[in-house]
Chain A
Amino acid sequence: MTGRVVTPGRTFKERAEHALANAGLQAAMRNLDRRLFTAADVERTTPWLKDRAASIRRETLSDLDGWLDRAAAALEAVGAVVHRAATPADAARYVVDLALREGVREVVKSKSMATEEIDLADALRAAGVASLETDLGEYVVEVAGERPSHMVTPAIHKTIPQVADLLTAEAGRALPPDAEVLTRWVRDHLRPRFLAAEMGVTGANFVAADTGTVVLVTNEGNGRLCTTLPRIQVVLAPVDKVVPRLADVSVLLPLLTRSATGQALTNYVTMITGPRRAGELDGPEQVHVVLLDHNRRRLLGTPYEEMLACIRCGACLNVCPVYRHTSGHAYDSVYTGPMGKILTPLLSGGEEGCDLPFASTLCGACTEACPVEIPLADLLVRLRSDLRGPGPLVRPGSARRPPPPSPSAPDRLGVPAGGPGSRPRRLPGEGYPWWAGGAALPSPRRDAPYGRRRLGFAAWAALWSTPAGYRLGAAASRAGARLLGRTRWTGRRVPGSGEWTVTRDLPLPAARPFRDRWAARESGVERW
């Protein structure tokens, strides 16, 4: 990904350790406590929104390609230019080429995770076009040379004094650690750049397939400025942003804002339907909508299809015990927190973030918080198995786990040519062929510790699967417990157990096994 890595470390674990030792970061993350009950409040006050929204999202996914075609046709009918981009590079190239062709010198950006996904700001700068983030949090993150750490509140990892120091350097004069003053300075500093900008780039919260309308939510008004003043507007919309009808946003929008910030609606909602019309004095003369796939449509027909229902509210981040302590940069990915742990390996085809699904306690808080009912914890478990893939201990052709059917004419990543519909369902651990061969994949073949562990568990399973092995194992553990002279083993690490007993207690066997008691009862020695 980009060179904008803030927390050092090669793996999530290393980066998380850095994050936990960073007192400033830990202090900043306490502010996220304000969102701890936001998702629960949605469930309590407007439970019907969840059901309606979940069904709209599933309806969309059942025919995503159809809705996309309808959205593209509707967008073109209202005068927008539609570009379908298969890859992030393709999407970035389209926007850069457009900027160069139109002689654009500076682009103003409204907050958009999709533009992070395609590294648009870096691509524009490489081509000599200035790029300016205008959302306050995004602006702070850009000044710091970082990446947003939370998709709703991008600078959550910074305290106000840290922001004041950053902006002081930018302003060339001392700015006090006062939110009002800092905010006003950003307003005054960015306003002339808005007035001069020739191109505005935004994401999309929703794209309505019936009217070709792009829906954007903001609180600051930068989204409005980006879609009002520049003569060219570019909308970067991943394919999962499509909704069947504009009327659907009356359900999805309040659910999004309630889950994201606890607001009944955000301060501004902008609904753009094509470029400015005859006689209008402002608004863009050109509207370009880039529909970005980036491996999303590959997920259709797999259990991971559920991830395309995500509305990017950040509720799962706000409640995640891992995210709340490590913050976003530890993930070293565009999407962070529970949804990011799943989406990052999926979107990259198994190339990036493959250790992220393992960075979870599987407590299920994310699943509970998700307003569109994505089974995040289940998907994490499944992804763990699938990323490992069939190991050497699974014999091809064994009855328990049939080998994956060989796809006909797979593409570079191994996706069957027949498209999403032709893909058969698979059991966890069989994986989906397109992420076999990922460089970062912790597989038994490439990663010795995992291989040894896998072998160890196989031997363990074999031992306990036979009556004789069970008796032997149980007798050995009783003997071990007697040797240790205790009936409980709590609060201490068991030697040789690796990290398994760092936070877990070792359960010790009963002094007298059930088998003996049962035998005594059956022979009439005991009565119970």
Chain B
Amino acid sequence: MSSPAGPVGRLRSALEANRCEVHLATPAELPENLAALAASAAAGTPVAAAPGSGADGGSGAEAAVGPSVRRAIEMLAGDGVEVVTPGEPAWAARLPSAGVGITGADAAAAAEGVMALRSGPTRPRATSLVPPVHLCVVPESVVEPDFEAALARALAGGPPSALTWIGGPSRTGDLEMRTTMGVHGPLRVVVMIAVDR
């Protein structure tokens, strides 16, 4: 696996500092580990998945992990987990019932510990927002040293209608300036970094 001082190691510690749960998986492990994480987090509720399909604007994320994510979704469905996908007609109505939303990330900044998600036809913004748990797959190939470089990567192919940067679970400092978790966005953010080997 990668060293703690490398980009993946720094991303991991920055995300953990932002209160994400971070896991690493090799290409061989990825589908099975992802399916297991999603099933346990969903705890019987539907899983909303937006694996994307070539709409990543050239960030390379889709090619890197798309097939593995789709394989994980097939495994979930095979295990009897209800899966909500953007293609289906009742997507908008069913999304609020989902306990987990699975997305990929198109860029990540190791120094700041943030992940970028481009919107697109099979990448609705609500998948990473409405379910209480967000499960995000970050390919090692999109990890950049800092926000400036990650922004440039995320904008390759021009800005999407929505480019969302996520650091971790929803939080606020509005009550006596103490950090309180879980306001409007996901209560848990689980990150799966897909390492090359």
Query: Could you tell me which A residues sit within 8 Å of B by CB distance?
Result: 28, 31-32, 34-35, 134-137, 140, 153-156, 159-160, 163, 179-180, 182-184, 186-187, 190-191, 194-195, 211, 213, 219-222, 224-225, 227-229, 246-247, 249-251, 253-254, 261, 263-283
Residue numbers in B under 8 Å from A213 (CB-CB) = 159, 163
Contact call B120/A135, Cβ cutoff below 8 A: no
| Minimum Cβ distance to chain B for residue A371 (Å) | 16
Assuming the A-B contacts A163-B175, A179-B176, A283-B162, are A225 and B151 also in contact, with contact meaning beta carbons closer than 8 angstroms in the complex?
Answer: no
Contact-residue bracket for chain B: 35 or more
Contact call B167/A266, Cβ cutoff below 8 A: yes
Q: A154-B174, A269-B114, A280-B124 are in contact. List 16 more A-B contacts (CB 8 A).
A: A136-B174, A179-B180, A180-B180, A191-B184, A219-B183, A220-B172, A224-B164, A249-B151, A251-B148, A267-B171, A269-B165, A271-B162, A273-B161, A279-B120, A281-B126, A282-B125
Contact call A274/B161, Cβ cutoff below 8 A: yes
Expressed in whole angstroms, the Cα–Cα distance for A184 and B183 within the complex equals 6
Contact call A282/B177, Cβ cutoff below 8 A: no
Contact call A219/B172, Cβ cutoff below 8 A: yes
Expressed in whole angstroms, the Cα–Cα distance for A254 and B181 within the complex equals 22
Residue numbers in B under 8 Å from A229 (CB-CB) = 126
Residue numbers in A under 8 Å from B120 (CB-CB) = 279-280
* Residue B197, interface by CB 8 Å: no
Query: Could you tell me which B residues sit within 8 Å of A by CB distance?
Result: 14, 18, 86, 91-92, 96, 109, 111-114, 119-121, 124-126, 129, 147-148, 151-152, 155, 158-178, 180-186
Return the contact of A253 from the options B111, B147, B164, B172 (Cβ within 8 A). B147
Contact call A272/B177, Cβ cutoff below 8 A: no
Return the contact of B167 from the options A32, A247, A267 (Cβ within 8 A). A267
Contact call B184/A134, Cβ cutoff below 8 A: yes
Residue numbers in A under 8 Å from B129 (CB-CB) = 221, 224-225, 228
Return the contact of A190 from the options B119, B176, B184 (Cβ within 8 A). B184
Contact call A271/B112, Cβ cutoff below 8 A: no
Q: Which 4 residue pairs of A and B lie closest in terms of their CB atoms, listed nearest first?
A: A221-B185, A137-B174, A279-B121, A220-B183
Expressed in whole angstroms, the Cα–Cα distance for A254 and B149 within the complex equals 13
Residue numbers in A under 8 Å from B109 (CB-CB) = 265
Contact call A268/B159, Cβ cutoff below 8 A: no
Expressed in whole angstroms, the Cα–Cα distance for A154 and B161 within the complex equals 30
Contact call A261/B119, Cβ cutoff below 8 A: no
Contact call A267/B18, Cβ cutoff below 8 A: yes
Contact call A283/B161, Cβ cutoff below 8 A: yes
| Minimum Cβ distance to chain B for residue A115 (Å) | 17
